[in-house]
């Protein structure tokens, strides 16, 4: 999970892999639980998949950059990452190999 602290509070974004995205979308089509009312991000090939299920509507969007995906998930068109921040976070997400675990990057301040 990436926890981003902003001026008005915190936002958690859960990092998932491609398999978990498919499982999540399938589950959201039929039923889901409280843990699924979150925001999720996944790197798939050259695209960033952003899933916003914070309102139980399961919006799925694809973006070319991590910054654009974060802007969508944080509801903040002015949110920005430096080149170094984007590279560091992107590498951290892409290098995390997970099956059923959720990974954590807590306290990343912007």
Contact 64, 80 (CB under 8 A): no
Q: Which residues, including other chains, have CB under 8 Å from residue 76's CB and lie 6 or more apart? A: 6, 70
Sequence spans of domains, the chain = 2-109
- Residues 18-28: pLDDT tens digits? 888 888 878 77
Pairing mode, strands 59-63 and 105-109: unpaired
Q: Give the alpha-carbon dihedral of 20, 57, 73, 33, to 10 degrees.
A: -50
Predicted TM-score (pTM) of the model is 0.74
Name the band, by pLDDT with cuts 50, 70 and 90, for residue 55: confident
Sheet with 47-52: strands ordered across:
59-63, 47-52, 39-44, 9-15, 2-6, 105-109
What is the structure's pLDDT at 100? 42
Residue 104 has pLDDT above 90, yes or no: no
């Amino acid at each position: 999970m990436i926890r981003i602290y902003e001026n008005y509070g915190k936002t958690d974004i859960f990092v998932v892999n491609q398999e978990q995205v498919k499982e999540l979308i399938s589950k959201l089509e039929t039923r889901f639980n409280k843990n699924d009312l979150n925001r999720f991000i996944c790197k798939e090939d050259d695209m960033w998949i952003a899933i916003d299920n914070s309102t139980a509507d399961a919006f799925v969007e694809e973006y070319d950059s991590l910054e654009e995906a974060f802007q969508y998930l944080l509801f903040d068109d002015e949110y920005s990452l430096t080149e170094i921040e984007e590279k560091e976070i992107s590498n951290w997400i892409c290098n995390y190999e997970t099956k059923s675990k959720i990974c954590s990057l807590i306290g990343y301040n912007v």
